[in-house]
Structure formats: C-alpha cells, structure tokens
Amino acid sequence: MKRSKKIKMPVPPHERHDTIRKNIISLLEEYTLTAREISHYIRIPEKDVASHLEHIKKTLNRGEERLIIESARCETCNFVFKKRDRLTNPARCPLCRGRLINPMLFSIEKRG
C-alpha cells in the first residue's frame, strides 16, 4: 500500500495573503457574504477579514470589478451605518443603543 506523505512547505506571508485575497474575491464574485461568513469559508479569523477586504477594495478599484458594501443596519430601529470608513461591524447603535446589528454585506460586481 502506497502512502503519500504530505510535505509542508513554508509559504511566505505575502504569498499566503495573496492566496487568501484571491479566494475571497472568487467567493464574493459568487455570493454576498458577511465578514463572519467569509472568515468561515476562507478559514481565517474574523478580525482579519476587514484588512483583507480593505486591500481588495483598493486593488479592485483599479480593475474591472468593484467591491460592493451593503451598510450595517440596526435591527431595532433600522438605523443604517452609512458613513463608515472601516470595514468592521459596529458594536452598538448610536440611536437606540441596541446591540442587534445586521452586519455589513460584501459582494463583488463587474463594472460596466
């Protein structure tokens, strides 16, 4: 019986990031997802998703596609977190102080 040995090659960090970003891009070309869902599919910590998305947003802006961000929204009073530069979800609503926040949704769309 043949056994294939798994050889672990050290991957340079920048290459790994490239792969992660490529995977996120192909996911978002197909689906509209929250940061949590992206972290689940790509198997990276949820806190890392925002920085990858920020990078993707910058690179895509020069190309044929663009990153679509649907704002987070308060479940209780429907307040929409429109002016948000960071791609992390707000913890609580400034209007009603509610903590039930519908997270941001991300997808990628072709221009044109």
* Exposure b/e, 18-50, CB count within 10 A at least 16 = b: eebbebbbebbeeeebbbebbbeebebeeeebb
CB of residue 77 to Zn ion, shortest distance in Å: 3
CB of residue 106 to Zn ion, shortest distance in Å: 22
Determine if 98 is a binding residue for Zn ion (CB under 5 A): yes
Are the C-beta atoms of residues 65 and 108 closer than 8 Å to each other?
A: yes
Return the residue of 76, 89, 102, 107 that touches Zn ion, per CB under 5 A: 76
- Is the Cβ of residue 68 or residue 80 nearer to Zn ion in the bound state? 80
Return the residue of 46, 96, 103, 107 that touches Zn ion, per CB under 5 A: 96
- Measure Cα distances from 77 to 7, 69, 93, 100 in Å: 53, 20, 9, 10
Residues that bind Zn ion (CB under 5 A): 74, 76-77, 79, 93, 95-96, 98
